[in-house]
A = this chain, B = another copy of it.
Amino acid sequence: MRQSRSTKRRSECPISFGLDIFGDQWTLLILRDILFYNRVNFKDFAPREHIATNILSERLKKLESMGFITKCRNDKLQNQYIYSPTSKSKDLLPVLLEIMLWGFQYDPDSPVSKVFLERMGRERMTVLREITQAVESGRFAVYRQEEMGISDL
Contacts and interface: CB of A to CB of B under 8 A. Distances in A.
Given A12-B48, A48-B12, A25 B17 contact: no
B106 A99 contact: no
Nearest to A13: B111
Nearest to A46: B12
Interface string A21-41: 011110011001000100000
Contact of A36 (B14, B17, B36, B103): B14
A2 to B, nearest CB: 10
Interface of A: 5, 8-19, 22-25, 28-29, 32, 36, 46, 48-50, 88, 91-92, 94-96, 98-107, 109-111, 144, 150, 152-153
Given A11-B153, A17-B106, A95-B95, 14 more contacts: A9-B48, A11-B152, A12-B32, A13-B100, A14-B103, A15-B28, A15-B100, A17-B110, A18-B100, A19-B29, A22-B28, A23-B23, A88-B106, A95-B102
